Chains A and B, each alone.
Chain A
Amino acid sequence: MEYLLIVNLDGAAIDALPEDEKRDLDARSIGHDRELEARGRLVAARALQSPATAVTVRVRDGRISTTDGPFAETREQIGGFLLIEARDLNEAIDIAAQIPVGQFGCIEVRPTYKIPGSE
């Protein structure tokens, strides 16, 4: 079963870290991704640029409208995601709990859903 781990982060808290701690956090994040990959769990993982770079798109009656920034304005914003393969929800939770940047925010664990007819 595939689960999406949505990493919500308080970007300001990470920006405020001293440089060496930031480097250490990056190294641990890369290490964690590699570990998941080596263990056959990782489908995809990406970090995202800051919410300020986001554009929200809506299509209504064939007309496209765009607004600056993410859909919701909260202190914790999506900072990245991992798509993982896990046996069940609790294994996905255990993997989520080890995400190094998790201590600066929270991780939402969502089981994926296969749209009927997609395979």
Chain B
Amino acid sequence: MSAGPADIEAIYRAQSGRVLATLIRLLGNFDLAEEALHDAFIAAAAQWPRDGLPGNPRAWLVSAGRFKAIDLIRRRARFDAALKEIADTLDTEDPEMEEVSIADDHLRLIFSCCHPALPPDAQLALTLRTVCGLTTEEIARAFLAPAPTIAQRIVRAKTRIRDLDLTFRVPEADELPERLDSVLATIYLVFSEGYAASQGEDLTRPDISSEAIRLGRLLAQLLPEAEVFGLLALMLLHEARRPARLSAGELVLLADQDRSLWDHGLIAEAQDLVSRAWVTGTVGTYTLQAAIAAEHCRAATADATDWARIVALYDMLLTAEPTPIVALNRAVAVAMRDGPEAGLMLIAPLLADKALANHHLAHSARADLLRQLGRNAEAEAAYARALELATLAPERRFIERRLQELGVSSSPLPTDGGRLGP
């Protein structure tokens, strides 16, 4: 089989993270491994179209990268005697190519890129470039940032990894929770960037949510921990509902979405992941959020939603993550179970919190409950406040529509009860 530039690019995207990870172990140096990776791909671009695709492209690339690195070191050793010794050692060593160590290499790379000592935006850029194989320019387009800004983040992150000697160790069991949190947060941030992109006016941004899902699937294979399943499930559930989320550029609330547009294959996969996470007995915030989203997806219609179960899940989530936004979501679920009055009683004290007092979602939720109770003047004031605070165009238009509806009609409209976020 011959290989064209598009095939090689696809292999780069799929394999470069793994090849790089193994080269880092073999060479003991991030920068050298990166150079060797690029050299190996340049060799592939010259050789594969002519000789055909090798049986195991990844093994070919690792081996080519290793030889290229030995070449590089030899060439530079003319100016640096210490390097010659490294080259000689490398030349005599037999690289370990077992699947187990390759999986470990990859995991080490992910943990290094998502190290808590790096700022979150640097973790994001470094992960997308080294683990997902995106170019700096592609990452810049995805984040609507100038390429030099992203390049600088990557340079600084790599310098920091070198200076703090963060490279390449899978965390010990006792530090795993904290380190894993950092990895999961980075992946979810990547996902949210891509998910939010579909809310903006600009629809040309590349879909980086699918990169986050790819990372999630990879991590679930490498590290089958409950919260890894939980995060992957959560992302799959959001993704499954994406086709129904916008209609002619307008936001559609969960209750009003056309459920036949949902991707039921993804939902089934996510539900299975939630079950697998649940049986471990150690349920974290991602699993709980996924369980809530799965509960919504399980209902054939909005009316069939099991609000009692959703409130119970929010109770658990609020214990695990006592934040105002979780409390707000719980209040909305309580309103769906017990009626708008009960929801309003819970939202009132939340608006005293500074974080929510200036959050459009809190005022929107309150306005909606007031509207259901026919307290239209208060509802109008709350929607007006929400409109002041909302920034995204589709969200603003949604609130404006609600305000208009209040103006022309005082009859109760269908309730939303939609989850907020991500």
A interface residues with partner B (beta carbon < 8 Å): 1, 28, 31, 34-35, 38-41, 86-91, 93-94, 111
Contact = CB atoms under 8 A, between A and B. Distances in A.
A3 to B, nearest CB: 11
Contacts of B34: 91, 94
A1 B72 CA distance: 22
Interface of B: 31, 34-35, 38-39, 41-43, 46, 68, 71-72, 75-76, 78-79, 129, 135-138, 147-148, 150-151, 154-155
Given A34-B75, A88-B136, 4 more contacts: A31-B75, A87-B135, A89-B147, A93-B155
A29 to B, nearest CB: 11
A111 B140 CA distance: 14
Given A93-B155, A94-B31, A39 B147 contact: no
A39 B39 contact: yes
Nearest to A28: B79
Contacts of B137: 1, 88-89, 111
A89 B151 contact: yes
B142 to A, nearest CB: 13
A90 B38 contact: no
A38 B35 CA distance: 13
Contacts, number: 50
Contacts of B150: 89
A1 B151 CA distance: 15
A3 B137 CA distance: 13
Given A87-B135, A88-B135, A88-B137, A35 B151 contact: no
Closest 9 CB pairs of A and B: A88-B135, A89-B136, A88-B136, A89-B151, A40-B42, A90-B136, A90-B154, A89-B147, A90-B151
A44 to B, nearest CB: 17
A31 B46 contact: no
B151 A93 contact: yes
B79 A90 contact: no
Contacts of A31: 75, 78-79
- Of listed A28, A35, A40, A88, residue having the most chain B CB within 10 A: A88
A94 B35 contact: yes
A40 B42 CA distance: 7
B75 A89 contact: no
Nearest to B148: A89
A94 B42 CA distance: 16
A35 B136 contact: no
5 contacts: A31-B79, A34-B75, A41-B42, A89-B136, A89-B150
Nearest to B150: A89
A40 B46 contact: yes
A31 B80 CA distance: 13
Contacts of A87: 38, 41, 135
B51 to A, nearest CB: 17
Contacts of B79: 28, 31
A39 B73 CA distance: 13
A110 to B, nearest CB: 10
